[in-house]
Structure 1
Amino acid sequence: MNDTLQIIKSRRSTRVFLPEQIEQAELEAILEAGIYAPSAVNQQPWYFTVVQNKDLLDRMNLSFKELAKKSEHPHVKKCRK
């Protein structure tokens, strides 16, 4: 089977993460993959923000959850159900 098709079929969405930070080399590889990802008409409008501070991540997570509760956007409302 085509490698790309196999990768697409085996992908998953991660919603639970380990508490350990990844190695710098792994982070750089992930960012490089994002930079080389395809974009519409090759615009490459990428902007990446890496947050590794656990306290900040926890505060951001709480803020995003509170915003989602207040959102009237139909897609967000559907996710709350």
Structure 2
Amino acid sequence: KTNREKSKISEIHIFGFDIKILHQVRTGESLIDKTSIIDKRKRLLSEVVSVSQQNKRYASFGRDAHKKIKQLIL
């Protein structure tokens, strides 16, 4: 919150993130589903030998991370 009377910010925001929602997610008070789906088809990164397979795994990780972060931001 700001000390300015004419401020249009109603909640605490840092770098565009709503701190209240992030705090709720961290403490477990949010409505976001906490269950995670484990894909047993994915092998450990240490077991992946080929460079192309490693690149595919990194791309898959990036997509999964983007989905999770997008849920937190929205």
TM-score class, shorter-chain normalisation, is: under 0.3
Using structure 2 for the length normalisation, give the TM-score.
0.25
CA radius of gyration, larger in = 2
Higher share of residues assigned strand: 2
Higher RCO (CA 8 Å, separation ≥ 6 residues) = 2
Higher share of residues assigned helix: 1
Using structure 1 for the length normalisation, give the TM-score.
0.24
